[in-house]
Amino acid sequence: MITRDAAAFFAHARDIAHDFGPATARAAFLVAPDGFRLAEPSAQDNRYMAQAAGFDGDCAMTQHHALQLALSEVLPTVCFPGDPAAPDAVFPNNVFATAGGRYVVGRMRHAIRQREAERADIRGFFGGVLDYAEIDLSAQPHPCELTGSLVIDRARGLGLCGLSERCDEDGARLMHEALGLRATLLFDLAPGEYHANVVLAVLAGRAVIVSERGFADPGIARAIGDFYAPHTAWLDETEHAAFVGNAIALSDDTAWMSRSAADALEPRNREILAGAGFQVRSVGLDAIEAGGGSLRCCIGEIY
């Protein structure tokens, strides 16, 4: 099923078992912020990006290394070198995604980020080292920025796909098919939002973080929140701006977010996450956040 009808989607989803696959990844991969600086084409539709003077490449590299060290305490974490010709390539989850013995290469909207899909070392890692089959969407015309646009409940095989200039309906269908999802709900993001994973996070199939203001139709946000209730953390404007929605669970008991997000997290929402069995861990990433994304954007998941 792939639909815009939230009522039909959740009526179907209620009967889906938690047996699609592991709820969290078995490993993670990152791309280092070598040459990290403002990529003006990407800034055209990413209001979260700082001005050029707000980028500190050395600090970004230090914080990114600290992220890898922290994640490696929980699961194997591989880091590929960055490419100075792709200055905002620190967010690989938009370009590569995995599921069930295959890897998917997405189609980025901006040419400066389309270079990332051409990396032979990352393709070689998935295809040659892990022996995953390749599904390459990078050459077709429809933008589909993978787990930036598509938030996945891996326990159930459900997709929640936010449409914007970074992902159209055809791109969403291609991702749905490539990842073998059981059902995907399509919805429009609010004007000014570029990726669903900035305003929405599903944590190990048990809890959800939602910023209603990130949705063109707040009713869709409420339907998602109702489905995961009572473990639904609703974000206020401050939490939204601090990237609390850009969180990820990499194990059954921990929700990861940036330190600025964790500092902004309201006590009531921290309690909701704790009630779902999640402690919050954070890493300082304010230098990375100048690039318009946060912790979850940095993490490519290996299933």
- pLDDT values of the chain reduced to their tens digit, one per residue, 303 residues: 999 999 999 999 999 999 999 999 999 999 999 877 655 666 566 677 556 677 788 999 999 999 999 999 999 999 999 988 877 789 999 999 999 999 999 999 888 788 889 999 999 999 999 999 999 999 999 999 999 999 999 999 999 999 999 999 999 999 999 999 999 999 999 999 989 999 999 999 999 999 999 999 999 999 999 999 999 999 999 999 999 999 999 999 999 999 999 999 999 999 999 999 999 999 999 999 988 899 999 999 999
CA-CA distance, 233 to 237, in Å (whole number)? 13
Q: What does the pLDDT look like over 6-20, one tens digit per residue?
A: 999 999 999 999 999
CB-CB neighbours of 182 under 10 Å: 16
Query: What does the block give as tokens for 167?
Result: 């992902």
Q: Who contacts 244 (Cβ-Cβ below 8 Å, separation ≥6)?
A: 209, 211, 233, 235, 257, 261, 264, 265, 269
Give the DSSP letter of residue 229.
T
Half-sphere exposure of 83 (CA within 13 A, CB side): 16
Which of 41, 42, 39, 61 has the alpha carbon at shortest distance from 52?
A: 39
- Could you tell me if 112 and 86 are in contact, meaning their C-beta atoms sit under 8 angstroms apart? yes
Strands 77-80 and 207-210, bridge-based pairing:
unpaired
- Could you tell me if 205 and 155 are in contact, meaning their C-beta atoms sit under 8 angstroms apart? yes
To which residue do tokens 């900035």 refer? 198
Domain count, the chain: 1
- H/E stretch holding 249 reads strand 248-251
* CATH number of the CATH domain containing 55: 3.75.10.10
Host domain of residue 127: 2-302
Helix residue ranges, H only, the chain: 6-13, 40-43, 57-71, 111-114, 120-124, 146-149, 169-178, 218-228, 237-241, 259-264, 267-275, 286-289, 295-298
Q: Who contacts 290 (Cβ-Cβ below 8 Å, separation ≥6)?
A: 49, 50, 54, 55, 56, 60
Give the global pTM. Answer: 0.94
Query: Interhelix angle for 218-228 vs 6-13, to 10°?
Result: 10
Q: What does the pLDDT look like over 38-71, one tens digit per residue?
A: 556 665 666 775 566 777 889 999 999 999 999 9
- β-pair partners for 174: none
- β-pair partners for 28: 77, 301
Q: How many residues does the chain have?
A: 303
